Structure 1
């Protein structure tokens, strides 16, 4: 019964992370299409509000997953598990270090009243690629939890997931550029 509850909590955290991911992608797309600093600021607040879900989801995923690995006597050296934990580490670092840092720069530009810089950073391709890369990586980790392949295959799955995520992040055009 405890294992079943841990699995349920694990899946709920996964669903919460993917829902937050979808909402942040929506907010980032709206920031990229913003016409003025006020609109960028509005969508930045939205994205930041949703993004608080990620650290909590990661903690719950790792805690519940750790319990399930131990309860099921799965080797901590299993290739899929090692790759999944490395992927979670990448997610935990790229969120605050890449995406968070870019959002802080955007917030500083807004606070300074630098409209041009805020509009430019609102459509920052690095932030968008990192966010979509994280989503692809997370989908790869979810696949590894189900398929449990060996290490080499697991690493390839995570790399492919990240690359597909980045490919989805194709540059978004501002409305002005679309009519020009």
Structure 2
């Protein structure tokens, strides 16, 4: 009925319970439905990160010691270091449950966080097919979120001011809590 262009402007008369008649033009009805759908899409779409670094990159800052997770290239251990506006400290989503680092921009593939087993150091490996890269999850990526990062090996956590490991929940959970920052300002 609404597919026929000739019927789009046709009027529809409906008798209400009160006995009054109500007339609605189909074009008004179609317009209202289209507007409602547009509002629904706008509300459900994610909001852009206003203060994010280039490309929506973010930093993972340890709540216990205030240090950032730093990548050192593919097949290298992740470390903690003083946060800097450098690619080695930038992270981004890479598919489902993968987090890519920008420490090795000359390689032809993305490098993601990879577990190496319980109570072992955490490495960067190729996101596509790298052992242990599909296991990590964050509870939230909202600006300022305080979240654990957990994988099959346990929780990503600070051992000291420079060393990371993946293992069982630490007694001081701040060591395994990460603050998500989209800017170092």
Q: Give the TM-score range, shorter chain.
A: under 0.3
TM-score, normalization by structure 1: 0.24
More helix by share: 1
Highest RCO, 1 vs 2 (Cα 8 Å, sep ≥ 6): 1
The structure with more radius of gyration: 2
More strand by share: 2
